Amino acid sequence: MDIKITKTTSPKAKPEGKLGFGKVFTDHMFVMNYTEGKGWHDARIVPYEKITLDPSAMVFHYGQEMFEGLKAYRGADGKARLFRPDMNAKRTNATNKRLCIPQLPEEDFVEAVRAVVEVDQDWIPTEDGTSLYIRPFIIATDEFLGVAPSKTYLFIIILSPSGAYYESGLAPVGIWIEDDYVRAVRGGMGFAKTGGNYAASLAAQVKAHDDGYSQVLWLDGVERKYIEEVGAMNIFFKIDGKIVTPMLNGSILPGITRNSVIEVCKSWGYEVEERKISVEELIDAQKSGKLEECFGTGTAAVISPVGKLRYKDDVMIINGNEIGEVSQKLYDTITGIQWGKVEDTFGWTMDVNK
Ligand code: PLP
Ligand code: COI
């Protein structure tokens, strides 16, 4: 893939002070078109700008779109690194298949991410806990109101220097187990990273926020009995010494942080179970003192300790609303690998500069 690079002539000022999440964007973006019969073409890095679309563009009407999320980190040694971008490339194609969006060669996805981050590498923040959040996305652009897969698409990557996803930072969050709305069912789009899943989550999220909780924990869409995942994270429990997480069943996102946490925990000798977990099991484990820790995992959220879980009239306080030992160790190890402070024995990082 040949990428044409046009640099901005008016670079923006870099943000100062505490970085939030996803509010500031860098000087450049990657853009590539898809046209049926021609394939992906015109890969380019251009100054960050607004895009113009016809009001009839299909993405606005039927939601044919996908997105990804990954980060670039400025290492203690000054090197810029990506974390497992090949996994985002694979997940992109799994999402694309479900959404009838054309496949994107994995090596092109990774190269596009690397190249645009390389151009804007001065935007990778250096303060502790910060990174450059990378948001690749694809939208359907045919000007047509019929319900059918589009024949043209735009693949865009934007970059956002970011701090902690939750305003509380690494402090434990409160999570609302939703017993009314559901997010996804098997056979639906739950495993795909597409806007519709997030649109479906908003009503419950608003309800949870109004009650003082950070995010929603979804139950399965059929029986509303089994734990699925959180709004922007997968979920893990430490129950009686074992690490337990819902298995991938088609309705939850196969998180890259989830996969990394499973591998790290196994390498430490923990027994890791990927299986169905009912909400009753959690309540019982809590009552018998066996629910030792709970944490969410995600690119934006990293490792996020959960101190409080609400289900109907039950409020479970986990580990005294303190960061658990395993949560802290995982946070230190995974961010350590990402920031080049801990040896990357898994081969998960990739240098931005060739
Ligand atoms: N589940 C949902 C619904 C998400 O939005 C995310 C965030 O990307 C995750 C899980 C975690 O996935 P990953 O670890 O790949 O970021
Ligand atoms: C990520 O962690 O990359 C995500 O995509 C979460 C996002 C929905 C904010």
Q: Where are the domains of the chain?
A: 4-162, 173-338
Q: Whose CA is nearest to atom 5 of ligand 2?
A: 69
Q: How far is the CA of 2 from the centre of ligand 1 (A)?
A: 30
Mean pLDDT of 193-207: 96
Ligand nearest to the CA of 259: 1
Query: If you average pLDDT over every residue of the chain, what do you get?
Result: 96
pLDDT for 101-148, tens place per residue?
999 999 999 999 999 999 999 999 998 889 999 999 999 999 999 999
pLDDT band at 74 (very low <50, low <70, confident <90, very high): very high
Strands 215-219 vs 291-298: parallel, antiparallel or unpaired: unpaired
Q: Whose CA is nearest to atom 2 of ligand 1?
A: 232
Q: Whose CA is nearest to atom 1 of ligand 1?
A: 233
Atom of ligand 2 nearest to the CA of 193: 5
Q: What is the pLDDT at residue 170?
A: 77
DSSP secondary structure code for residue 111 in this structure: H
Mean pLDDT of 312-322: 93
Contact assessment for residue 326 and residue 260, using Cβ atoms and an 8 Å cutoff = no
The arrangement of secondary structure in 4-162, i.e. its CATH architecture, is 2-Layer Sandwich (3.30)
Q: What type of residue is 4?
A: K
Ligand nearest to the CA of 300: 2
Mean pLDDT of 60-81: 96
Q: Which residue(s) pair with 40 in the sheet?
A: 34
Q: How far is the CA of 145 from the centre of ligand 1 (A)?
A: 31
Q: What is the pLDDT at residue 14?
A: 94
Mean pLDDT of 208-232: 95
Mutational test site, ligand 2, from 21, 165, 166, 261, max ligand atoms within 8 Å of CB:
165
| 298 CB near ligand 2 (under 6 Å) | yes
Ligand nearest to the CA of 160: 2
Q: Whose CA is nearest to atom 6 of ligand 2?
A: 232
Ligand nearest to the CA of 21: 2
Q: What is the pLDDT at residue 113?
A: 98
| 232 CB near ligand 2 (under 6 Å) | yes
Contact assessment for residue 125 and residue 161, using Cβ atoms and an 8 Å cutoff = yes
Q: What is the pLDDT at residue 20?
A: 87
Using the predicted structure, report yes or no on whether residue 167 has a pLDDT greater than 70: no
| 233 CB near ligand 2 (under 6 Å) | no
Q: How far is the CA of 299 from the centre of ligand 2 (A)?
A: 6
Ligand nearest to the CA of 231: 1
Q: What is the pLDDT at residue 168?
A: 64
Alpha helices in the chain (DSSP H): 59-62, 85-99, 106-119, 195-199, 202-210, 256-267, 279-287, 325-338
Q: How far is the CA of 233 from the centre of ligand 2 (A)?
A: 8
Atom of ligand 2 nearest to the CA of 71: 3
Give CATH for domain 173-338. Answer: 3.20.10.10
pLDDT band at 171 (very low <50, low <70, confident <90, very high): confident
Where would I find the beta strands (DSSP E) of the chain? Answer: 4-5, 28-35, 39-47, 65-67, 70-74, 80-83, 131-140, 152-162, 173-177, 215-219, 227-230, 234-239, 242-246, 272-275, 291-298, 302-311, 314-317, 349-351
Using the predicted structure, report yes or no on whether residue 175 has a pLDDT greater than 90: yes
Using the predicted structure, report yes or no on whether residue 244 has a pLDDT greater than 70: yes
Q: How far apart are CA 64 and CA 147, in angstroms?
A: 10
Indicate the pTM of the whole model.
0.96
Q: Whose CA is nearest to atom 3 of ligand 2?
A: 69
Pocket of ligand 1 (CB under 6 A): 69, 229, 232-234, 253, 255-258, 297-299
Q: How far apart are CA 150 and CA 320, in angstroms?
A: 51
Q: Whose CA is nearest to atom 8 of ligand 2?
A: 232
Q: How far is the CA of 22 from the centre of ligand 2 (A)?
A: 10
CB pairs under 8 A, 24+ apart, for 48-55? Answer: 48/8, 48/158, 51/154, 51/156, 53/139, 53/141, 54/141, 54/143
Q: How far is the CA of 70 from the centre of ligand 1 (A)?
A: 10
